[in-house]
Amino acid sequence: MGSDLSLAETVPASIISIRTGEWQKLAVSLAELSLDTTLRCGQSFRWKKLNDDEWTCSLHGRVISLKQDPKQDPNHLLYRVTWPSNPPLTKLSSSGKGVKVENDPMKDDTEALLRHYFNLDPNLTELYERWSQADANFKKRAPMFTGVRILKQDAWEALVGFICSSNNNIARISQMVNNLCLTYGPLIGHVHDQAFHDFPTPESLAGPEVESQLRKLGFGYRAKYLARTAIIVSKEKPENWLESLSNTEAFDESEWKTLEPGGRPGYRKAHEELLALQGVGPKVADCVCLMGLGWGESVPVDTHVWQIAQRDYKFGRGKHKSLTKATYDAIGNHFRLLWGEEAGWAHSVLFAADLRTFAIRLTEKTEVQEEVQIKGESEDGVIVQATVVKKREAIKEETIKEETTDDLSVVFSTTAKRSRRK
């Protein structure tokens, strides 16, 4: 294994010389971007919260730390960059299309990178208002979950991350992706004594021993899917094939656009091509379309969304009693009709509201009176007993399901692939 050049070289922290910049400000309010929600709701699996208020990840050949201060400065995002003295010699997977990358601190493009990555062009406050006007359920839940944006991630990273998401939970997916980067991604630097590697390229995962190594790392059956997908993307598809499936239309918030039931032709084409990959069912394809390719109308349906559709939107009865392919499509079409071209953004707000991670936001405090028996002794030695009424706060909490992201579409997607082979 030591001769496998696809494995990332482990370098002691003392050898990696780094330069850390000062904290800088980017004007964006908490209503437009909430790090604590956006980075924890199952979009990206590489951000680490090293301190109580600091999120850190390697992106585009540098390590970026972010934080927000709701009390002192709610209208700015603070960011700091840690640069390696010598940029990695290997190609960086995160250096995708859509943003020019500079590895030179003297030509710091981090603000542009963050604007691109966090998809800051759409006015989220206005979108929330539109969705609230169209949907009473969204209006009820959204105030607790402002600032949920859809990231504009590297498409390859999104594809790998969501192949790992099948029948999995967010914590374990994050662990798997972290192990993948530590093993195959180029080392960028260390922050707070933690190593940060960039995301591995398709080429680095296309070697003959990758599948067996991933199984040792705990990827299970997903190891085969990832190894095969890396070979397809790096050797069998045209260069930049994934990026060619991206939405290139500029966001237009001036009008509410009515979509065809199945979404725009470009979205349908991207979804169909992704389904041809091993380990990619309709849910995984929709996740990649939404969070890696920029198709805002994409609505991934997993356990959470299926539960939401049944509980709040009258699915789960009649012809949509179970999650067949027809029901999966019907749920997506329902939300596209309800929320418009950025239906996937609105869906992600409700998805976050259904996660156990954020259950505390859905609690209600009520005042409860209860009788308490008190015993004491009077001055003349007589034992007395009295009943008094005390008030206390009780918490009423909604039931939140476990943070699984099970791909409920696996049954009908497998059937569909079998039928295509015949």
Strand runs labelled E in 125-255: 187-191, 194-197
Cβ distance 291 to 347 under 8 Å? no
Structure tokens at 263: 């979404």
Q: Quick check: 406 pLDDT over 50?
A: yes
Give the whole-angstrom CA distance, residue 220 versus residue 276: 21
Angle, to 10 degrees, between the axis of helix 343-353 and the axis of helix 124-134? 80
Give the whole-angstrom CA distance, residue 72 versus residue 53: 13
Q: Which pLDDT score is estimated for 197?
A: 95
Q: Which pLDDT score is estimated for 398?
A: 39
Q: Which pLDDT score is estimated for 17?
A: 57
Q: Which pLDDT score is estimated for 386?
A: 55
| Catalytically annotated residue among 283, 314, 325, 396 | 283
Is residue 48 among the annotated active site residues?
no
Q: Name the CATH code of domain 18-120+149-296 (choices 3.40.50.880, 2.60.40.10, 1.10.287.130, 1.10.340.30).
A: 1.10.340.30
pLDDT band at 308 (very low <50, low <70, confident <90, very high): very high
Q: Quick check: 222 pLDDT over 70?
A: yes
Mean model confidence pLDDT for the chain: 83
Q: Which pLDDT score is estimated for 119?
A: 97
- pLDDT above 90 as % of the chain: 65
- For the chain, domain boundaries: 18-120+149-296, 358-397
Give the whole-angstrom CA distance, residue 30 versus residue 76: 8
Task: Name the DSSP class of 404.
Answer: B
Mean pLDDT of 21-37: 96
**Torsion region of 416: left, alpha or beta (phi above 0 gives left; psi -120 to 50 gives alpha):** alpha
Q: Which pLDDT score is estimated for 366?
A: 45
Q: Which residues have CB under 8 Å from 401's CB, separation 6+? A: 303, 304, 307, 354, 356
Q: What is the pLDDT of residues 60-117, one digit of tens each?
A: 999 999 999 999 999 999 999 999 866 655 455 544 444 444 555 567 899 999 999 9
- Buried/exposed 259-296: b ≥16 CB within 10 Å, e otherwise: beeebbebbeebbebbbebebbbbbbbbbbbbbbbbbb
Q: What is the pLDDT of residues 320-333, one digit of tens each?
A: 888 899 999 999 99
Q: What is the pLDDT of residues 381-400, one digit of tens each?
A: 555 555 555 555 444 433 33
